[in-house]
Chain A
Amino acid sequence: MSAEVSPTDHLITIRDLSVVKQGQTILDAVSLDIAKHDFITLIGPNGAGKTVLLRHLLKLETPHAGTVHHQSGLKIGYVPQRVSIDPSLPMTVQRFLTVNNDVTSAQLDSLATETKVSHLLNSPLADLSGGELQRVLLTRALAGKPNLLILDEPAQNLDVNGQLQFYTMIDEIYESRKLSVLMVSHDLHLVMSSTRKVVCLFRHICCSGAPESVARDPEFISIFGDDMAKLMAVYPHSHAHDHDHDHHHSSPSEES
C-alpha cells in the first residue's frame, strides 16, 4: 500500500467496492491496494464486513459496484478461519496436504519442516489440536507457492501462547519467502504491538497506517472503544487497567 510503488506492482487493486445485502450496506466504497511484500492486518468489529471483503479479495463473490483486480500471475494461499472435519471422513494430514494439487513428497517434507508439522503427517486430521490444525492449513496454503497469503482470523481458537507462536511463524515466513500477507485479526493487543500496517474497516475503511497512529485516530477510538476494552481484558497484563475502560460504554458500534 505504499504510495511510491506504481499500480502495476499491486497484487490486488480494489476500487470503490460496495456490497449491499438485503437492503443493508455491508461495504461502502472500499478501496485497498495490496503491494509486493506488504503485511496488512485488517481489523474491525463484528459485522464490519471483514469476511465479505475477504471473499471479494479471493474473488469468491462478484462485486455489486466497484472493481477487484488481480495482477496476472497472482497466486493466493488461503488459510480459512477453521475447518471442521466430519469424523466419518478418514483423512491423514499427509493426504489432506496433497489432495487436488501437485505437491511432490520432497516438497511436502521441506514444507512440513518449515511449518513444524513433520511429526503430524500420519495423524488423522480430526485428531489435531487447534494450533496443529492451523499450522497444517498454513502448510497447505504455502504448497501452492503463493505470492500473497490471506489468513482469516487464523489464531482465533488458540490460547495466548499459541497465538504468539503462530504469529511468529507467519512473520518468519513473510520475511523468508518475501511474500505479501493480508490477515484478518481480532487480536488487537498483538496487532498493536507489531510495526505492521493496520487497516481498520467498519463498512468503509476508517483509517489505516502504523498501529500507533491508527490507535490515536478518533474514528478508531469511537468504533473500538468497547471492543478494544473487551479484547484487552483477555490480555494478562491488562487486568490492572480494567478500570480505564469503564467510561466507554456508549460507543457507536453498540448502537448499530
Chain B
Amino acid sequence: MSAHILLTTLALALVAGPLGCFVVWRRMAYFGDGLAHSALLGVAIGLVIGVSDQIGMMAIAIIFALSLIWLRAKRVLATDTLLGILAHAALSLGVVAMTLLGAGDVEVHDYLLGSLDAVTQDMAVWVIAGSGLSLGLLMRLWPGLILMTTSEDLAHAEGVHIVRYEFALMVLMGVVVAASIQLVGILLITSLLIIPASTARLFARSPEAMAIGGSAIASVCMLIGLPLAENFELATGPVIVCVLVAGFMLLLMAHLATRKG
C-alpha cells in the first residue's frame, strides 16, 4: 500500500471516531446517508462546471444541510421524511446527470462502493487537509457540543449557540463524507462513522474515551481491510465494513461475557 493511501486512511479514521460519536448520540445516521446520497449530484455538478469532485460534493453537502434546516423550521413534515425527499431527489438527479454526461457504469460503481484506484495523490492531500481541519474544529467545539448533546435547553441557557453548533456539525459531516467517498463509497459511508463509535461505546466510560476508542478502532479496521481489498481486487467499502462489523461482534461478545461474569 502506497504512503499517500496509508495517510489518507489514517486521517479519515481519526476524524471518523469523534464525528461518528455525534452521529450515534444525536441520531444523525439518516442524515449521513442523505448527505452521502447527495454526493453523486455534487460529482455531476463538478463535472459540468469543471471543479474537482470534492468541491462539488462539499457544495452540495452545505446546500443539503441548509435546505434541511430551512425546511425543518417550517414544521410541516418530519425530519426523516424531509431527509428521504432531499436524499433521493439528489441521488436520482445525480445518477441521471452522470449518465447524460457520459460517465460510464464503472465510474458510478466506484462512487457507490469505493475504490483504491480513485485515491490519487492530489486527492490524498485534499482528504488529509479536510480531515485535519475537521478534527481541529471538532476539538474546539467539543465541550459545547457535548453539553448540547446532554441537554439542548441547558446548553442554550448557558450560552451555547445551538443553531450554529448544529450547522457546524452538519457541515463537518459534509466535509468528512465528501472526503471519504472515494475510499468507502456512497452506500457504506455512514457505517464508517457509526460502527467504530458503537464499538467504542461498549467499553467507554466518558465521551472522550468513546471518541478516541472510535478513532483507534476505525484505524485498525481500515488498515486490515485495505490490503485485503487490494489483494483480492475487491471494492474497498464492503471489505472495510466487513472488518468493522467483525470487530464490533468480537467486542460485543467480550462485553456481554464480562458483564455476565
- A positions within 8 Å CB-CB of B: 58, 60, 76, 78, 80-81, 83, 85-86, 88-92, 95-96, 99-101, 124-125, 137, 140, 144
Q: What residues of chain B lie closer than 8 Å to A92, measured between beta carbons?
A: 205-206
Min CB distance B33 to A, Å, is 18
CA distance A91 to B207 in the complex (A): 6
- Partner of B24 from A88, A91, A99 at Cβ < 8 Å: A88
Q: What residues of chain B lie closer than 8 Å to A124, measured between beta carbons?
A: 205
Instruction: Indicate if the CB atoms of A76 and B149 lie closer than 8 Å.
Output: no
Known: A90-B205, A125-B150. A99 touches B25 (CB 8 A): no
Q: Is B144 an interface residue (CB 8 A)?
A: yes
**24 A–B contact pairs at CB < 8 A?**
A58-B156, A60-B156, A60-B157, A78-B158, A80-B151, A80-B153, A80-B157, A81-B153, A83-B150, A86-B25, A89-B149, A89-B150, A90-B201, A90-B207, A90-B209, A90-B210, A91-B207, A99-B143, A99-B146, A99-B150, A100-B143, A100-B147, A100-B155, A100-B160
Q: Which residue of B lies closest to A84 (CB)?
A: B151
Residues 130-180 of B at the A interface (beta carbon under 8 Å) = 143-144, 146-147, 149-151, 153-158, 160
Q: Mark B192-222, 1 if CB is under 8 A from A, else 0.
A: 0000001001001111011000000000000
Q: What residues of chain A lie closer than 8 Å to B206, measured between beta carbons?
A: 90-92, 95
Q: What residues of chain A lie closer than 8 Å to B143, measured between beta carbons?
A: 99-100
Instruction: Indicate if the CB atoms of A100 and B210 lie closer than 8 Å.
Output: no
Known: A90-B209, A95-B206. A144 touches B147 (CB 8 A): no
CA distance A89 to B150 in the complex (A): 8
CA distance A78 to B201 in the complex (A): 30
CA distance A89 to B156 in the complex (A): 19
Q: What residues of chain B lie closer than 8 Å to A100, measured between beta carbons?
A: 143-144, 146-147, 155, 158, 160
CA distance A90 to B153 in the complex (A): 19
CA distance A101 to B158 in the complex (A): 9
| Most A-side CB within 10 Å, residue of B147, B158, B204 | B158
Q: What residues of chain A lie closer than 8 Å to B155, measured between beta carbons?
A: 100
Q: Which residue of B lies closest to A60 (CB)?
A: B156
Q: What residues of chain A lie closer than 8 Å to B158, measured between beta carbons?
A: 78, 100-101, 144
Q: Which residue of A lies closest to B205 (CB)?
A: A90
CA distance A76 to B210 in the complex (A): 32
CA distance A122 to B150 in the complex (A): 17
CA distance A144 to B153 in the complex (A): 16
Q: What residues of chain A lie closer than 8 Å to B151, measured between beta carbons?
A: 80, 83
Q: What residues of chain A lie closer than 8 Å to B153, measured between beta carbons?
A: 78, 80-81, 83
Min CB distance B5 to A, Å, is 32
Q: Which residue of B lies closest to A54 (CB)?
A: B157
Known: A81-B153, A89-B149, A90-B201. 12 other contacts (CB 8 A): A58-B157, A78-B157, A80-B154, A83-B151, A83-B154, A86-B25, A88-B198, A90-B206, A99-B146, A101-B158, A124-B205, A125-B150
CA distance A124 to B150 in the complex (A): 12
- Partner of A99 from B147, B198, B210 at Cβ < 8 Å: B147
CA distance A166 to B206 in the complex (A): 28
Instruction: Indicate if the CB atoms of A78 and B154 lie closer than 8 Å.
Output: yes
CA distance A86 to B26 in the complex (A): 9
Instruction: Indicate if the CB atoms of B205 and A140 lie closer than 8 Å.
Output: no
CA distance A60 to B158 in the complex (A): 10
Q: What residues of chain A lie closer than 8 Å to B205, measured between beta carbons?
A: 90, 92, 124
- Partner of A140 from B154, B160, B210 at Cβ < 8 Å: B154
